[in-house]
Amino acid sequence: MKLFPHLIIILIISSCSSNRTNKKTLKKIDEIDFSVGFAPSVIKHFAYNGEEYVGFADFKSFKKIKLFNINARSQYSFSIKDIIKNELVYINGLSFSSPDSIALLSSSGTSKLFIVNKKGEVIYKKDYSFLKGQETALYPPIEFKGNQIRVGLSYYGKENTPALSKEYYDNFFKDKNESYIMMSDTLFRGHTLPTLQMDSLYMRFIPKSVNNTEMNHLLYLDTKNIFYSTYSDSVYEYDLNGQLKEVFSIKSTKTKTKVNPISISEMMMDKNNLFIKNIEDNSYIALLLWDKFRSVYYAIIPGKKMSAKKTPFTILVLDEKFETLDEFTMNPDKYYFTRFFYYPCFVGKKGLYIQNQNKDVKNTNYSIFTYE
Amino acid sequence: MLKTLIIQFLRMSKVSLLLFLALLVSNCSYNITDEEKLESFYTLHKPEGEFSKFNKVVVINELGGCLNCTSMFVNEIKDSTFKTNILFIVSSSGAKVDISPFIDSTKSNIIWDSNSDFDEFDILKKSGVIYLDSNSKISKKELIN
């Protein structure tokens, strides 16, 4: 009988330690410093011939693209000033198919796509500006893989969006809607026309009386596209033919994810500030990343902005079916997140790269986390 | 007295200055004025400069809902940098607003605050112009978008 309490204690200890070893966590394993030389507005990670690369771009001030391998060794850097000057466009989309094949998308409704080589020379150009006459424009994010491009598409119109159908596709440019959708195009097959791949998305969440402007929330994967919205706590999984396959609800255990859209009349009276404040004060799925090496998604959920440079955020780790595995609170004094324009994180073979708070704008320093 | 204290901290580091000012604002009954914040920030970046010569401070930052408006504003005012009575505080990394006319400029009336430290002072909510009177007091603030 005297042995009984001892056995209980041993059992408790062994079960605790077994839990501890099974419990995965988001563990910081390393830091890496990319000497970019400018503050990037776009970051793209990609793999080519078994090597990992990270491309950085600034389209506003320095107008440069710089490529590193994953060990932060510089591969090349080139200016895009000539493209901007010669083509009379601004650039806001970037995607690498290989280190020597880079897609650039022009902004502000000009809808031009350029494929450049590692010297920054334009080797292929495709003009979608005919869309502008139909109040339609291409928007990032773009994904350039093989000979195909996937890109966001915005258009404006009157009616509510019908379900995706042959008629809808046929009448796509006639029955325009306020919406943000995506299309794909086979780049190098002559005069191919864009293929509509998703039906309308915004209209699922909000009536026409409210402002539907938000960030571009599309995650392009090899076999599917995933859409998520500031105004929804769900993610929408589409196959590559544009069929909605499944809707998954995502729940943060630490933050209430809810943004109520503001009305267009309110927004007009307030010159956009209300929209910014609404986004900055609330939590939502701001970024979704797929980690193919560990078969998990990371959903970044920002909290209320603390100061000009500090936004608290959590990282939700989700399995392939978007079931929550865990959620981690990140220290905004150490780690940088911004809701607008550019998301300073990416996934590589080593893990999840999160940008550190950094005093030196010309060095982009990351912490690497693994979920294990 | 306060100014002397601030200058002493300026000799240390930006972090010390920000911490000092934050402490003052949060803990002391003394309310630091926007003019004092502005002059301290200027002295931090231009220790040998003379703040009293400015009658306008143009602030370019990445705040506000229309950053294209800010880029247009930059384009409009870029040729005014030769005017020595205007101070330009460029609180931007350059990623969101086109600040190319200011990058690498060596002009003494331009402060490139690439880490946007000036935003922490909360003097202007967005890009704009601060007008100073002959006593370097703020007479007006104008936002551009």
Give the model confidence (pLDDT) of B27-52 as tens digits: 555 678 999 999 999 999 999 999 99
Confidence category of residue A25, pLDDT binned at 50, 70, 90: very high
- Domain A81-249: which CATH class? mainly beta
pLDDT in tens, A99-150: 999 999 998 778 899 999 999 999 999 888 877 766 677 888 899 998 889 9
pLDDT at B87: 96
Q: How close, in Å, is residue B93 to chain A by CA atoms?
A: 6
Could you tell me what percent of chain A has a pLDDT over 90?
A: 44
Interval A253-274 mean pLDDT: 73
pLDDT at A300: 93
The pLDDT of residue A181 is above 90: no
Q: Which of A60, A262, A309, A339 to mutate to test the interface with B (most CBs of B within 10 A)?
A: A60
pLDDT at A289: 96
Radius of gyration of chain B (CA): 15
Which chain A residues are Cβ-neighbours of B142 within 8 angstroms?
Answer: none
pLDDT at A62: 93
The pLDDT of residue A2 is above 70: no
Residues of chain B with pLDDT under 70: 1-30, 145
Interface of A with B (CB under 8 A): 38-41, 58, 60-63, 271-273, 275-276, 307-309, 340-342, 359-362
User: A99, A7, A118: which is closest to A46 by C-alpha?
Assistant: A99
Interval A15-30 mean pLDDT: 70
pLDDT at A167: 58
CB B11 within 8 A of CB B20: no
If one counts every other C-beta atom within 10 angstroms of the C-beta of residue B79, the result is 9
Q: Bigger pLDDT: A61 or A198?
A: A61
Cα nearest neighbour of B113 on chain A: A361
- Say whether B65 and A40 touch across the interface (CB within 8 A): no
| Residue B78 in domain | yes
- Say whether A272 and B115 touch across the interface (CB within 8 A): no
Interval A180-206 mean pLDDT: 68
Distance CA B120, CA B97 (A): 18
Q: At what angle do helices B34-45 and B14-27 cross, to 10 degrees?
A: 170
- Say whether B119 and A309 touch across the interface (CB within 8 A): yes
The pLDDT of residue A161 is above 50: no
pLDDT at B69: 83
The pLDDT of residue A247 is above 60: yes
User: B85, B61, B76: which is closest to B143 by C-alpha?
Assistant: B61
pLDDT at A213: 57
Q: Which of B21, B91, B97, B98 to mutate to test the interface with A (most CBs of A within 10 A)?
A: B98
Count CA atoms closer than 13 A to B5's CA, side-chain side.
Answer: 8
pLDDT in tens, A310-325: 889 999 999 999 999 9
- Calculate the alpha carbon distances from B116 to A309, B60, B119, B122 in Å: 8, 10, 6, 11
Q: Bigger pLDDT: A72 or A209?
A: A72
Number of domains chain B is built from: 1
pTM: 0.82
Confidence category of residue A14, pLDDT binned at 50, 70, 90: very low
- Say whether A62 and B71 touch across the interface (CB within 8 A): no
What is the residue type of A171?
N
Interval A289-294 mean pLDDT: 96
Interval A231-241 mean pLDDT: 86
| Residue B24 in domain | no
pLDDT at A183: 75
Q: Which of A38, A42, A61 to mutate to test the interface with B (most CBs of B within 10 A)?
A: A61
Which chain A residues are Cβ-neighbours of B99 within 8 angstroms?
Answer: 60-61
The pLDDT of residue A159 is above 60: no
Interval A160-188 mean pLDDT: 57
Looking at residue B78, what DSSP letter applies? G
pLDDT at A311: 87
pLDDT at A166: 53
| Residue B99 in domain | yes
Q: Which residue in the set A41, A273, A307 is minimally distant from B120, CB to CB?
A: A307
pLDDT at A115: 95
User: A110, A203, A115: which is closest to A158 by C-alpha?
Assistant: A203
Q: Which residue in the set A38, A41, A276 is minimally distant from B65, CB to CB?
A: A276
Q: How many residues does chain B have?
A: 145
The pLDDT of residue A8 is above 70: no
Given CB atoms, is B26 within the 8 Å cutoff of chain A? no
| Residue B84 in domain | yes
Radius of gyration of chain A (CA): 22
- Say whether A62 and B65 touch across the interface (CB within 8 A): no
pLDDT at A122: 96
Q: What is the CATH number of the domain that holds B137?
A: 3.40.30
The pLDDT of residue A82 is above 80: yes
Given CB atoms, is B105 within the 8 Å cutoff of chain A? no
Which chain A residues are Cβ-neighbours of B116 within 8 angstroms?
Answer: 308-309
Interval A220-248 mean pLDDT: 87
| Residue B17 in domain | no
CB A313 within 8 A of CB A283: no
pLDDT at B21: 55
Q: Which residues contact A266 (CB under 8 A, 6 or more apart)?
A: A274
Cα dihedral: B85, B86, B87, B92 (round 10)? -170
pLDDT at A251: 87
- Say whether A62 and B64 touch across the interface (CB within 8 A): no
pLDDT at A65: 97
What residue ranges do the domains of chain A occupy? 25-41+254-372, 81-249
pLDDT in tens, A325-367: 999 999 999 998 887 666 789 999 999 999 998 877 777 899 9
What is the residue type of A280?
E
Q: Which residues pair with B111 in a beta bridge?
A: B89
Average pLDDT in chain A: 82
pLDDT at A11: 47
What is the residue type of A347?
V
